[in-house]
Structure 1
Amino acid sequence: MRRKVRVGLMIAGVVFTAVVLAAGVAATLAGRRFHARYETEKAALLQQARSGAPPAGAGIAAESLPPPVRRYLQVTRAGDKPLPRFAIVQQRGGLRTAADKPWMPFEAEQVYSLEPPGFLWFARAKVAPGVHMLARDKFVGLRGNMLITLGGLITLADGTGPQMDQGAALRFWGEALAFPELVRSPSLHWEAMNETQARVRIEQGELKLEAVIDYNEQGLPIAMHAQRYRDVNGTGVLTAWTGYSREWRELDGRLFPTQWESVWHLPEGDFPAVRMEILHLQTG
């Protein structure tokens, strides 16, 4: 009888080990497929950026820009520089889904096409020991899409639609204005406010957005304030939001923020949702 029990336990152990190994192999393959999909989208975005019309440095006359925006061009000496076609940044940081949830550390890569405007973001976040969330955010062709999976196996979110387009566009412009050559884009319509703030209207096809940009004493943009859609139990709710750009240093031969933060301003208080450090910048 005892021998039968031991044999049964051995068989159960073998089956359990086989299931665990199979699950591990499936997760590895799914993760590779997810990353391969991102690499395909990245190649297409870079090809679009490289093969498009040469980015024009001209657009809005520098003299017509509000005082803090003109000063930004002056301190970065970007007034006569051509706009880069693309940029690739390496990041690390933390994200969370609610104020009472723990921070999940992540590593990420973000690719920008500056003309036409677009980005891709691939992140790998640690949910638990041995468990990772794979995310791909994008804004391409004026359309946004946030795809989130558990290890590439289980889809947790696959958001599309006008509200996603609006949020992705605000993310693009909130980050891409770190490239001062872009402030003269014909898609931007600036309005003077004071010496440290300027209002910008962003018009791209059907997308029409508005935001306020804060500049620090050195003349560098440090925050974008806007109304952005936030997911609340599956419903998009317009919510006060700020994208912060901090710790400007020299990267790839240019001044660039090395800290980014995304913060929702809720009735119960501020909710920082994403914090990231810029580790490397490549432009071309």
Structure 2
Amino acid sequence: MLKIIASNIFFVASLKLSKEIDKVFTPHQGQKQVIVTEEMLQKLPDPVKRYLVYTGVLGKPIIQTVRLKQVGKIRKDAEQPWMNFEAKEYYSANSPCFLWVAYMKFFGLPLVRVRDFYMEGKGNILVKAISLFTVANSAGKEMDQGAMMRYLNEMMWFPSAFLGGNISFESIDSNSARVTLKDMGKSVTATMYFDYEGRLTNFMAPRYRDMGKNKFELENWSTPIREYGEFEGLKLPLRGAGVWNLKEGDLEYIDLTVTDLKYNPDEPY
């Protein structure tokens, strides 16, 4: 009986999520395909140019939409246990937005759902138990900044987006560069680190951390990349982590692996 009830609730919640997914994908229908050329890379800092060549974007279309799947483990802080999760994520590359939907399973059932999104300059995290009861609902200017920074970071899974008109770079040295994303009158800036082969190895930035009860703290944040793989003919991060670099020490709060990635999918779901 419990499985039947959970399945029915899950179905209703999925219908609501499908409307948000449509908002991510619909604006791109029928857009003209643009191919990445060497000329597009000429004015970039050397490590960024090396990175994009390494990924294999040259000669391939600039991506418009993305759907990926992840598995991993997540925790709120060092005092909380790790929880396994499965997630799907949807991105728009031209007009920045993402929708991340993760399920934490208990007794084999997806009893906790986390929905994180950035859209039209706004960020929001909604946590529900059995897709019905709200556990947390975080919004506000700090969430906007955090979600926008997350989007900038996760462009590593569709790197042709770094060639967009809303992105600018500032050279630091042969293995790092600052990157800035502008959207809806706002901007976020981070530092990207690369190895000599061109792989992105880390991404560091100030980002607001949600402490609960509408409290946020601006902390240093990083996403070390632990493994690369190949998706859609590109060399992309396969496994990585999210880390809060706190004064009292590093707090790793998520470890994830991409299990599937599709560009410009005909069927977003």
Q: Same fold (TM over 0.5)?
A: yes
For residues 46 and 172 of structure 2, the distance between their equivalents in structure 1, rounded to whole angstroms, comes to 9
Paired residue for 1:249?
229
Greater CA drift, 221-230 or 24-33: 24-33
For residues 170 and 55 of structure 1, the distance between their equivalents in structure 2, rounded to whole angstroms, comes to 26
SS in 2 for 1:81: coil
Paired residue for 1:270?
250
Paired residue for 1:152?
131
Residues 55, 112 of structure 1: CA spacing in aligned structure 2 closer, same or farther, 3 A cutoff? farther
Paired residue for 1:6?
none
The runs of 5 or more residues in structure 1 that have no matched partner are 1-20
The Cα offsets for residues 107-141 of structure 1, whole Å up to 9 and x where unpaired, read as: 11111111111111111112567572111111112
Paired residue for 2:267?
none
The residue identity in structure 1 corresponding to 2:120 is G
For residues 150 and 193 of structure 2, the distance between their equivalents in structure 1, rounded to whole angstroms, comes to 16
Equivalent runs, 1:100-179 vs 2, <5 Å = 100-127=79-106, 132-179=111-158
For residues 3 and 228 of structure 2, the distance between their equivalents in structure 1, rounded to whole angstroms, comes to 41
For residues 180 and 84 of structure 1, the distance between their equivalents in structure 2, rounded to whole angstroms, comes to 8
SS in 1 for 2:13: helix
Larger Rg: 1
Whether the 8 Å CA contact 2:156–2:237 is kept in 1: the answer is no
Structure 1 runs of 4+ aligned residues shifted over 4 Å read: 23-27, 51-58, 127-131
Q: TM-score, normalised by structure 1?
A: 0.85
Equivalent runs, 1:1-284 vs 2, <5 Å = 21=1, 26-51=5-30, 57=36, 61-127=40-106, 132-234=111-213, 235-284=215-264
SS in 1 for 2:84: strand
Which is helix-richer, 1 or 2?
A: 1
The residue identity in structure 1 corresponding to 2:10 is G
For residues 28 and 79 of structure 1, the distance between their equivalents in structure 2, rounded to whole angstroms, comes to 44
Equivalenced residue count is 263
For residues 108 and 263 of structure 2, the distance between their equivalents in structure 1, rounded to whole angstroms, comes to 35
Greater CA drift, 245-254 or 93-102: 245-254
Task: State percent identity of aligned pairs.
Answer: 28
Q: Which has the higher contact order (CA 8 A, sep 6+)?
A: 2
Please state how far the C-alpha of 1:75 moved relative to its aligned partner. 2.2
The Cα offsets for residues 197-241 of structure 1, whole Å up to 9 and x where unpaired, read as: 001122112221110001123202122101100122421110100
* RMSD (Å), alpha carbons: 2.3
The runs of 5 or more residues in structure 2 that have no matched partner are 265-269
